[in-house]
Chains A and B, each alone.
Chain A
């Protein structure tokens, strides 16, 4: 399952990434395998989304979220 498939309020645990370039940027921001992520909100126009991860809020586009595979 991909992170982009979660609804607001749902949580998941990051398993792996499908895109090396994005994974490097996401991991730097504390979004890495084993971390719990939760969809906090979706932007008014449906994209980007905001997730809460390692204790703070991170915003990313749906495409970027689709490169994150959950357990």
Chain B
């Protein structure tokens, strides 16, 4: 039995070596995806192009422009009228238009005196980044205005002189002049002056303190935010653990389906069926090479993710491998099922793509499941990748143990048994 399976496996590898198109799909595709998702696909926009329409043109407005210039997230493209700025947004030459109205000052309360910001929403990811960065920037502008105001008040209070009380005209002072020797009187006068000044200073400090309490300090108002597991919110840390699953399901489903249908289409399957090879030996012999290649692809994406893209892997390798194998088994079964219902490679390719593309879109690989309406989300619940992704991402980034995900692992196990079981039965039946 093992000799026959060995012959099949060896034959598959000879064919794979010669079939450059298939080989390219299996090796180049994961590498291509790695490059795409590791380097090219980045939802964080580094620099936002800003156009300013300065209708005020005074010190306060120039302060805002200076702050835009100094902000490293923004690239000031130049000044324009609001109309010109809008045109630049329309043409896609700028991401954000900041309009500083004529009556603007740091504390404008009137609607038509406030800063106005327009963002190009047609570019989804730029708009989201721009909104986040503009909000941060406006907070900074507010903070600087506030600090400036505080400093001005403090300076004014500090510079104000405390008047020394002049007692020379009062009858009590005349009495004291008569009683006290001149030296003691001078001392008394100075002590009194010091005390008055001290009292005034204390009152001023108390007021300053009160003022500081009353003025909201934007820094103190801001909650302390710690981003856990992916502190820099790097897209690559999110994408690579998902890519591990995508590569597994893509390579195994597509390759298995094509590999078996090719035999059917070329008539070689008939030769195999007439030979002493049993149906499960034939199935094992066909699946094992794709299983091996999928494992190689998995390790490739896994290692490149960790060593080249610095994606942290905080979980345990072995349990993660086990869950991945479970997922892989289901994917092989899916490929086998596709091959059973396809008559030629074109059909198999179409059907495989039909099962894979929804997984790409609806599994949460790119778009969050939580954002999907239930009308669509139930479709996601049917897809194996939907259950593998959270496990993979959390094992990578949070260091969670994969077996803590009981539901996900159980569903993957059911899929593995169901797909491979049904496919094996159909395979056996179709071979007579």
Chain A partners chain B: no
